[in-house]
Amino acid sequence: MSVNTSRPASRSSEAYSRRSFLSELVGVALVIAWYGAIDFIFHGWLHVPYHRWYLKNGALISLAFAFATAAWSDLNRLTGLVALHPARYFRECMILLA
Amino acid sequence: MAVVFAPRESLPAELAPGRSVATLIVMLARLRDVVMAAALALIMTIGLLLWLAFVAPAQWVINGIAGAPARSMLQSPMTAALRVGDREWSFVNAPRGSAALEGTTPSGYVQRPVSMKGALGAVVLWLLSLAGL
């Protein structure tokens, strides 16, 4: 007896991709809100837009991060730190923090 | 301190006055190490929390650009590697874990994707800051 499973499988993968897309969309919206909150803090505290501060110091921070991860090679197993999905990226950030 | 000033005959050999001072110095040195380690752990925790709160969101944006090569390398079933021979070097592109990759040096994006993303991100940010955005 053969059972055609292609339809439910494709339906579930479609549902999964829709869910993944929606979670990515929510994640991006949250990051934008977070970005806005930081910008508000920077305007009030340092009187400088957040993106200007990050452009000025971000290269040094990224370089320090690269050196730290190169020296502590286990961090390179946290491949979610290169992920585009915000939830995965921030989950790995929390793991790094832990 | 009570141990240091106790009568000599009542003390065990390892706590005799001279030894007690040495023990005290060792204990103080250990205490100093504990205090310094705790202070450094506190500084590191604060630094990481600040990084998570103020840097990680912006880094995620740069990650979209600088992380692209690492992401495509990690998703690919093939691995790029360099074979260094006595007289010549050659590039190898073979399926992950295959015998063709033995004795080769895999691409940095495969070995250290996070470090490579950080280095490339630094270059991208430096170029953006030069552009005066």
Residues B27 and B87 in one domain: no
Q: Which helix (H) or strand (E) holds A26?
A: helix A6-45
Q: Is B122–A75 a contact, with Cβ atoms under 8 angstroms apart? A: no
- CA A34, distance to chain mean position in Å, is 12
Share of chain B above pLDDT 70, in %: 85
Residues of B in contact with A61 (CB under 8 A): 51, 55, 59
Quick one: B48 and B77 in the same domain? no
pLDDT of residue A33: 92
Q: Supply the pLDDT for residue A5.
A: 47
One domain for residues B133 and B89? yes
Q: How many residues does chain A have?
A: 98
Task: Please give the model's pTM, rounded to 2 decimal places.
Answer: 0.70
Sorting pLDDT into bands at 50, 70 and 90, what band is B17?
A: low
Torsion sign across C-alpha atoms B35, B37, B40, B41: negative
Contact A89 B118 (CB under 8 A): no
Q: Which residue has the higher pLDDT, A90 or A6?
A: A90
Is residue B62, in this structure, part of any structural domain at all?
no
| pLDDT, average across residues A65-88 | 85
* Domain interval for residue B19: 1-57
pLDDT of A39-51, one tens digit each? 999 988 888 888 8
Same domain, B95 and B130: yes
Do the Cβ atoms of A84 and B121 come within 8 Å? no
Give every CB contact of residue B98 below 8 A, 6+ residues apart in sequence: none
Number of structural domains chain B divides into: 2
Q: Which residue in A65, A66, A82 is closest to B67 by CB distance?
A: A82
Question: Which residues of chain A neighbour B70 with C-beta distances below 8 Å?
Answer: 79, 82
**CB distance B133–A54 less than 8 Å?**
no
Q: How far apart are CA A60 and CA A62, in angstroms?
A: 5
What span, in angstroms and rounded, lies between the C-alpha atoms of B84 and B105?
8
Percent of chain B with pLDDT over 90: 16
